Amino acid sequence: MIIELDMQSDIPIYTQLVNQIIEGIASGRLKLGEPLPSVRSLAADIGVNLHTVNKAYTLLKQDGYIQVHRQRGVVIDPEGMPPVTEEFMAKQHSQLKPIVAEAICRGMGKQQLIDMVELIHKEITETDNEKGNA
Amino acid sequence: MIIELDMQSDIPIYTQLVNQIIEGIASGRLKLGEPLPSVRSLAADIGVNLHTVNKAYTLLKQDGYIQVHRQRGVVIDPEGMPPVTEEFMAKQHSQLKPIVAEAICRGMGKQQLIDMVELIHKEITETDNEKGNA
Amino acid sequence: MIIELDMQSDIPIYTQLVNQIIEGIASGRLKLGEPLPSVRSLAADIGVNLHTVNKAYTLLKQDGYIQVHRQRGVVIDPEGMPPVTEEFMAKQHSQLKPIVAEAICRGMGKQQLIDMVELIHKEITETDNEKGNA
Amino acid sequence: MIIELDMQSDIPIYTQLVNQIIEGIASGRLKLGEPLPSVRSLAADIGVNLHTVNKAYTLLKQDGYIQVHRQRGVVIDPEGMPPVTEEFMAKQHSQLKPIVAEAICRGMGKQQLIDMVELIHKEITETDNEKGNA
DNA sequence: GTGGTCTAGACCACT
DNA sequence: GTGGTCTAGACCACC
């Protein structure tokens, strides 16, 4: 799992971490039950503070993406991903709203917007996700 | 123009302001050339500091949504909205990506996602924007 | 004398006025002794406040560009333009410095900068300045 | 990096700051990738409010002169300076125009003006920029 | 420690 | 009246 961080971005590093891991799961590169590096080793790998990795893992755990065991370490939750709750839908809605509004303002058509969503969907799911490295 | 702020949200107030004004333009409630309240009056109205409103206006000005006219005050840019630049598309892409990824993880189908985008699009554009029920 | 004002500019209107009148003199469109419109009529013409025109004229008078007579009204100083004083040179220097510095940073060569100065010089002096309207 | 501010000047402090930092880069005293003092420490050093320094840094960031690194703090953009865009040329042109016009009015010859530009160019680039007299 | 955000209150420049 | 600038002081998020 390659993590790419942008230290200049105004997006917090822990958020970038969370996003990348979720993307990894979405793309199939990370499978259910698959172990993740320990806080310590991941922090060393990508050159960030322990706290930062810890915060990312904590958030992922809270949302039900990963399990953290004292012994076995961190793994993608083997029992499956969190469901589509009301709350989740509301969050998606509120995140999407300003994006759609801005697109409308600038004259980006609805279809163009949908095309972009489909493109991104494709980009994520069509990653080389066949067993990692067959 | 009714502004709704969530003071508890972790989204900065000035960002909420920016988003709401962009939504107002997208929905047609705010028309090109239409004046916006002065920094001070809007700040008083919504109960925040004038600097907060000022920051929102400054950002909107930078992006080409509004003009700060020396005499007429602040108006929606009468010469039209900013165009769909490469940079804008890239921003949309990077904002959309984590949303799509999370949807995939949770088993929200692509069509469901597109439906939500269409719904939001409809919600924004089908606001009662006929000059106040004329 | 056509005055072009940009109400969106962050340059004060009175400064724009001063600049345009100085340009007019530099280009020869405005000649020594030539009358300028009264504060009242100029303000009406270009649609700005009396105070604004008044301030511009006051500054021009202070610097020795114009004379203001109760009776004859406002005229370009018939006795000639203000000289190149030490003070003026210092002002030019301090105004030019940040412009030159920024050009250097961005990799604009010294010659390019000089070319631009020469171009502007040409633009100003080669305006149709033959007796106003021969 | 020595910063000299004129608190009496009608040029905003944050603008003076921006100019001085750009001059520092142009002169070579500030090198690509070199760190700048933190907002707070610089503010304390030069005796202004941290918001004033913040505004200067924000502007420099917007124009691509500096990067605000999440961990390393503020640094001169190590990837180089912003390019000479159309927009930049237009800005230079409009800033130069009144300066040239005034020079013409006062009888300062074109060559004198160019000499001054060359002088300033020399002053900036010939600063002792060899890593502190190595 | 850093920068980011927000407040409260002030003064000034401009129109 | 407007927006622009600056100050002083606070809290928070991030690292």
Q: Please state, for a pLDDT cut of 90, what percent of chain C lies above it.
A: 77
Lowest mean pLDDT among A117-131, B62-76, C120-134: C120-134
Is the model more confident about A22 or about C8? A22
Does residue B65 register a pLDDT over 90? Answer: yes
Identify the chains in contact with D, defined as 3+ C-beta pairs within 8 A: A, C
| Three-state DSSP class for residue A74 | strand
Candidates D107, D114, D115, D121; CA nearest to C88 is: D107
Asked if C75 and C66 count as a contact pair (C-beta separation under 8 A), the reply is yes
CATH number of C13-76: 1.10.10.10
Q: C-chain residues within 8 Å CB-CB of B75?
A: none
Q: Please state, for a pLDDT cut of 90, what percent of chain D lies above it.
A: 79
Bridge partner residues of D76 (DSSP): D66
| Closest CA in chain A for residue B90 | A116
Q: Where are the alpha helices (DSSP H) in chain B?
A: 13-27, 39-46, 50-62, 86-105, 110-125
Q: How confident is the model at residue A129 (pLDDT cuts 50, 70, 90)?
A: low
pLDDT, tens digit (0-9, with 9 covering 90-100), for C29-39: 999 999 999 99
Q: Please state, for a pLDDT cut of 90, what percent of chain A lies above it.
A: 79
Distance in Å from E15's C1' to C53's CA comes to: 11
Provide the token pair at A74.
């961190």
| Closest CA in chain A for residue B125 | A104
Does residue C134 register a pLDDT over 90? Answer: no
Cα-based distances in Å from A29 to A134, B25, B72, D24:
12, 41, 56, 48
Q: Return the number of other C-beta atoms located less than 10 Å from residue D34's C-beta.
A: 15
Cα-based distances in Å from C105 to A69, B91, D115:
54, 28, 20
Q: Where are the domains of chain D?
A: 13-76, 86-133
What is the rounded distance in angstroms from the CA atom of residue D95 to the CA atom of residue D2?
26
Q: What is the mean pLDDT of residues B8-31?
A: 94
> Which residue approaches E12 most closely, CA to C1'?
D10
Provide the token pair at B11.
């989204």
**pTM score, whole prediction:** 0.90
Does residue B15 register a pLDDT over 60? Answer: yes
Does residue B134 register a pLDDT over 70? Answer: no
Q: How far is D82 from chain C (nearest CA, A)?
A: 6
Does residue D112 register a pLDDT over 80? Answer: yes
Kindly report the average pLDDT of chain A as a whole number.
Answer: 90
C46 contacts chain B (CB < 8 A): no
Does residue B26 register a pLDDT over 90? Answer: yes
Does residue A131 register a pLDDT over 60? Answer: no
Q: How confident is the model at residue B122 (pLDDT cuts 50, 70, 90)?
A: very high
Q: How far is A40 from chain B (nearest CA, A)?
A: 25
Distance in Å from E7's C1' to B70's CA comes to: 27
> Which residue approaches F8 most closely, CA to C1'?
D49
Q: Write down the pLDDT at residue C1.
A: 72
Asked if B32 and B80 count as a contact pair (C-beta separation under 8 A), the reply is yes
Q: Write down the pLDDT at residue A72.
A: 80
Does residue B128 register a pLDDT over 70? Answer: no
pLDDT, tens digit (0-9, with 9 covering 90-100), for A73-127: 899 999 989 999 999 999 999 999 999 999 999 999 999 999 999 999 999 998 6
Q: In what order do the strands lie in the sheet with C35-36?
A: C35-36, C73-76, C66-69
Mutant choice from C105, C108, C113 vs D, greatest count of D C-beta within 10 A: C105
